[in-house]
Amino acid sequence: MSAAVFPGATPAAPSSPGRGGVSGWWFRPVPLARIAAFRTIAYLFVPVDVFLTTAWVRAHADVPTEWYAPLTIGQLLPLPAPTPALVHVVQWALVAAALAAATGRAPRLLGTAVFLLYLEWMVIAMSYGKVDHDRIAYLVALAVLPTIGRVRWRDRRSSEAAGWAMAAVFVTVMLTYFLAAWAKMRFGGWDWATGSTLTRAIVRRGTVLSDWTLEVPGLLVAAQWAMLVLEFAAPLMLLVWSARARVALVVFLLGFHLAVYASVTIIFLPHCVAILSILAWERLPDAARRLRSRVGGGAPAEISPVGAAPPG
């Protein structure tokens, strides 16, 4: 498929001519190989989420429908109350669609099916009094990925449509942190930072790696202030452009979530998958070749142009 018949696709370039400012940021062309890699990761995570991360959703099949208090979207559409048949059909249809979508075939059809089924899975999950905030960026990723169309891992073209999709996920990742801080202020006020939120969490769910913090006066309060500052400063991450800086940002964010898991055994896996969209996955093959070259003890052999005589 040529760039001419792919909407928004252009030869690989650092920027798109004719756009600037906010529009240039939202539609900065992104290599299609990045979409192919991230899409595979996102779709392969679905069965992990269904059978591991949110395995408890299946239990809602046995909950009386009278206990179902649908989210606003479940009221507006409206979506049916979860029955045993509905829960099991959505579960297996979602897994099957995600595995099929991970192959790259029929990306718009299968990708849309994955998004709609996962949306219903989340409505079933979150309509019984508990709403997690670690799903929104991943859900946005599933929503925008089908808009790109067919791509391949070695696709060297760039696309403004792909740039918009990855920017949408990036912004949602940022908002997850920023709005978490806003919610702390909305419901807890500044007392949240000086209260015992982390102390209570460690008392209930602490590990050998975090129990010692209970014995250090002021440490957990300082950690709460640091968390608030970092979450309110989250919009600054949108200024990160270079590939190396993005790697550092991803390492920092994933390191933070690993530290939380090591401390209180809470991990936001869907959000961590969405964070991976920030990386320049299209550079992975080149990095792998350089690594193999170094391990092999020499530079990669140069390839002579077609028809050129060999050296010597």
- Listed in sequence order, the residues at least 6 apart from 15 whose beta carbon sits closer than 8 Å to its beta carbon are 24, 28, 29
pTM over 0.75: yes
Percent of the chain with pLDDT over 70: 87
- In which band, very low, low, confident or very high, does the pLDDT at 1 lie, cut at 50, 70 and 90? very low
Angstrom distances, CA of residue 102 to CA of 38, 40, 50, 155, 282: 10, 5, 16, 16, 17
What is the amino acid identity at position 27?
A: F
- Across the range 99-103, mean pLDDT stands at 96
Do 159 and 5 meet the contact criterion of CB atoms below 8 Å apart?
Answer: no
- Across the range 61-80, mean pLDDT stands at 87
Do 277 and 38 meet the contact criterion of CB atoms below 8 Å apart?
Answer: yes
What is the amino acid identity at position 92?
A: W
Tokens 């939120």 found at = 197
Do 157 and 9 meet the contact criterion of CB atoms below 8 Å apart?
Answer: yes
- Across the range 250-267, mean pLDDT stands at 95
**What pLDDT sits at residue 154?**
80
Tokens 């979150």 found at = 126
| DSSP-derived 3-state class of residue 299 | coil
- In which band, very low, low, confident or very high, does the pLDDT at 295 lie, cut at 50, 70 and 90? confident
Per-residue pLDDT tens digits for 185-232 = 998 888 899 999 999 999 999 999 999 999 999 999 999 999 999 999
The pairs formed by 227-233 with CB atoms below 8 angstroms and a separation of 24 or more are 227/181, 228/181, 228/184, 228/192, 228/193, 230/177, 231/177, 231/178, 231/180, 231/181, 231/184, 232/178, 232/181
Cα(183)–Cα(12) distance, integer angstroms:
41
**What pLDDT sits at residue 128?**
87
Cα(73)–Cα(57) distance, integer angstroms:
18
